[in-house]
Amino acid sequence: MAAIREKEEKLKELKLKQKEELATLEAELNQLKLNSKDAHKIALKTPKGTRDFSPKQMAIRKVLFRTIEKCFERHGAETISTPLFELKEVLTGKYGEDSKLIYDLSDQGGELCSLRYDLTVPFARYLAMNKIQKIKRYHIAPVYRRDNPSITRGRYREFFQCDYDVAGYDSRIADAECIRIVSEILSAVDVGSFIIKINNRKILDGMFEISGVPTEKFREISSAVDKLDKMSWEEVRKEMTDEKGLDGKVADSIGDFVKLKGGLDLISHLEGVVKETGNNSLLVGVNEMRAIIELCHEYNVTDKILFDLSLARGLDYYTGVIYEAVLTDDKVGVGSVAGGGRYDNLVGMFHPKGKQIPCVGVSIGIERLFSILEAKAKGNVRTTATDVYVASAQKGLSKHRIALCSNLWDAGIGAETAYSENPKLLNQLQHCEVNDIPLVIIIGESELQQGIVKIRDTNSREEVDVSRENMIETINKKLNQKRG
Q: Are residues 321 and 284 in the same domain?
A: yes
The secondary element (H helix, E strand) that includes residue 475 is helix 471-483
Amino acid 303: pLDDT: 94
Q: Are residues 425 and 476 in the same domain?
A: yes
Sequence-separated (6 or more) residues with CB below 8 Å from residue 375: 332
For the segment 25-37, the average pLDDT, to the nearest whole number, is 71
Q: What is the band of 428 on the pLDDT scale with cuts at 50, 70, 90?
A: very high
Amino acid 82: pLDDT: 97
Boundary (domain end) residue, out of 377, 407, 427: 377
- pLDDT, tens digit, 9 for 90 and up, residues 215-254: 888 888 888 888 888 888 899 899 999 988 888 899 999 9
Amino acid 28: pLDDT: 75
Amino acid 134: pLDDT: 96
Strands 194-200 and 305-308: parallel
Amino acid 38: pLDDT: 59
Give the chain's mean pLDDT: 90
Q: What is the band of 472 on the pLDDT scale with cuts at 50, 70, 90?
A: very high
Low-confidence winner among 371-375, 412-416, 426-430 (lowest mean pLDDT)? 371-375
Annotated binding site: 118-120, 145, 161, 165, 313, 317-318
CA proximity to 305, closest of 320, 323, 318, 330: 323
Cα→Cα distances 311→147, 200, 475, Å: 21, 8, 55
Boundary (domain end) residue, out of 377, 399, 431: 377
DSSP string, 105-168: ---BTTB-EEE-S-SHHHHHHHHHHTT---EEEEEEEEEE-----BGGGTB-SEEEEEEEEEES
For the segment 84-106, the average pLDDT, to the nearest whole number, is 86
Q: What is the count of structural domains for the chain?
A: 2
Q: Are residues 318 and 448 in the same domain?
A: no
Q: What is the band of 8 on the pLDDT scale with cuts at 50, 70, 90?
A: low
- pLDDT more than 70, % of the chain: 93
Amino acid 447: pLDDT: 94
Q: What is the band of 148 on the pLDDT scale with cuts at 50, 70, 90?
A: confident
Q: What is the band of 314 on the pLDDT scale with cuts at 50, 70, 90?
A: confident
Rounded CA separation 116/85 (Å): 5
Q: Are residues 403 and 343 in the same domain?
A: no
Q: What is the band of 151 on the pLDDT scale with cuts at 50, 70, 90?
A: low
Annotated binding site for L-histidine: 118-120, 145, 161, 165, 313, 317-318
Amino acid 393: pLDDT: 93
φ, ψ at 389 (rounded to 5°): -110, 130
96: in domain:
yes
For the segment 57-75, the average pLDDT, to the nearest whole number, is 96
Gyration radius of the chain over CA positions = 30
Q: Are residues 259 and 404 in the same domain?
A: no
Q: What is the band of 36 on the pLDDT scale with cuts at 50, 70, 90?
A: low
Cα→Cα distances 306→148, 197, 265, 292, Å: 30, 5, 11, 12
- Of residues 223 and 441, the one with the higher pLDDT is 441
The packing angle between helices 55-74 and 366-376, to 10°, is 130
Q: Which domain covers residue 305, as residue numbers?
A: 55-377
CATH of the domain at 403: 3.40.50.800
6: in domain:
no
pLDDT at 331 over 70: no
Q: Are residues 97 and 129 in the same domain?
A: yes
Angle at 397 between CA 393 and CA 402, to 5 degrees: 110
Rounded CA separation 135/20 (Å): 44
Amino acid at 378: K
364: in domain:
yes
pLDDT at 39 over 60: no
CATH of the domain at 290: 3.30.930.10
pLDDT at 419 over 60: yes
36: in domain:
no
Low-confidence winner among 86-95, 286-295, 407-416 (lowest mean pLDDT)? 86-95
Burial class (CB in 10 A: 0-12, 13-18, 19+), 359: buried
- pLDDT, tens digit, 9 for 90 and up, residues 269-301: 999 999 999 999 999 999 999 999 999 999 999
Q: Are residues 437 and 294 in the same domain?
A: no
50: in domain:
no
pLDDT at 337 over 60: yes
Amino acid 223: pLDDT: 85
- pLDDT more than 90, % of the chain: 67
10: in domain:
no
Q: How long is the chain?
A: 484
Low-confidence winner among 20-34, 335-349, 356-370 (lowest mean pLDDT)? 20-34
- SS3 for 217? helix
30: in domain:
no
Q: What secondary structure letter does DSSP report for 287?
A: H
Rounded CA separation 218/199 (Å): 16
Q: Are residues 352 and 407 in the same domain?
A: no
For the segment 109-117, the average pLDDT, to the nearest whole number, is 90
Q: Are residues 96 and 172 in the same domain?
A: yes
Q: Are residues 163 and 80 in the same domain?
A: yes
23: in domain:
no
Q: Are residues 219 and 247 in the same domain?
A: yes
pLDDT at 114 over 90: yes
- pLDDT, tens digit, 9 for 90 and up, residues 355-403: 899 999 999 989 889 988 888 887 668 889 999 999 999 999 999 999 9
Task: Report whether 291 contacts 172 (CB < 8 A).
Answer: yes
Boundary (domain end) residue, out of 327, 354, 377: 377
Q: What is the band of 4 on the pLDDT scale with cuts at 50, 70, 90?
A: low
Q: Are residues 143 and 204 in the same domain?
A: yes
